[in-house]
Amino acid sequence: MSPAPSTAPRFLVAALLLPLAVACGGSGDTGGSGDGDGGDSATLTVLAATSLTDVFTRAGEVYEDAHPGVTVRFSFAGSQELAAQVTQGAPADVLVTADARTMADVAGETGEPAVIARNELVIVTPPDNPADVADLADLADPALRLVLAAPEVPAGRYGQQILDAQGLDVTPDSQEPNVRAVLGKVQLGEADAGLVYVTDATAAGDAVRAVPIPAGQNVTAEYPAAALNGSDHADQAQEFVDWLTTPEAEALLTDAGFRAP
């Protein structure tokens, strides 16, 4: 982020997955990856990186409108948590991570991934920017209350890559399990600054101030999507992944601040 192998994690993950799922549409089906009403009907469970929460909730609605009988349910978490769910056998149909490395870690569990979007990082501060953060160098101030994503989280790795490239030695006050937790601490005034995706800062609106990172100092985050080999709805899962690469889906993603793949 070893005891003897156990079947318990499989059931724990499956049980925990359901409360986290966000359903789009009104099928009334509360199952994760269960059967639909027959024919092409299906309930797809999509495990997706936290930074996709807003845009995928909208994308699910659009997809359902165009695919009667298909219900899309999302479970959002840090990419590393999603990969753990996949390896532990959680019932799901599609995986979308915020980096290629995490997707590669579960290569034996997925079909061929397709990059659906790209992203970049930005510094966020409370709206009044009490610490007067103006650039990356300011993050090294020991008096600054800095919050970052944990190093096992894609946003955390990207952030560390940026800081290392600038030769900055920083000591965060906390390391969070996903990028939205970083954003939340800044929004609540519990931190003076944090590193999040541009799309997270966009979604937060006036609740934070965004301090851009120059292109030459930034990194590009890739979002690969893949159908899971264990899906009970293999055809529909692959159709959803294919749809995520269409101009319609790309327009939704770019409108939310993501870059085209």
pLDDT by residue for the chain (261 residues), tens only, comes to 344 444 343 333 343 343 344 455 433 333 444 443 334 789 999 999 999 999 999 999 999 999 999 999 999 999 999 999 999 999 999 999 999 999 999 999 999 999 999 999 999 999 999 999 999 999 999 999 999 999 999 999 999 999 999 999 999 999 999 999 999 999 999 999 999 999 999 999 999 999 999 999 999 999 999 999 999 999 999 999 999 999 999 999 999 999 999
Burial of 113 (0-12, 13-18, 19+ CB in 10 A): buried
Strands of 193-197's sheet in order across = 174-176, 146-149, 193-197, 121-125, 209-211
Going by C-alpha positions, the residue among 33, 116, 13 that lies closest to residue 74 is 33
Write down the pTM of the prediction: 0.83
- In sequence order, what are the residues at sequence separation of 6 or more whose Cβ sits closer than 8 angstroms to the Cβ of residue 245? 114, 116, 261
Angle at 239 between CA 236 and CA 245, to 5 degrees: 150
Distance, in Å, from the CA atom of 57 to the CA atom of 15, rounded to the nearest integer, reads 22
3-state secondary structure of 95: strand
Burial of 125 (0-12, 13-18, 19+ CB in 10 A): buried
Q: Where do the domains of the chain lie, and which CATH numbers do they carry? A: 8-118+222-255 (3.40.190.10), 121-217 (3.40.190.10)
How would you classify residue 114: left for phi > 0, otherwise alpha for psi between -120 and 50, otherwise beta? beta
Going by C-alpha positions, the residue among 165, 162, 187, 164 that lies closest to residue 176 is 187
Distance, in Å, from the CA atom of 52 to the CA atom of 226, rounded to the nearest integer, reads 15
Provide φ and ψ at 47, rounded to 5°: -90, 120
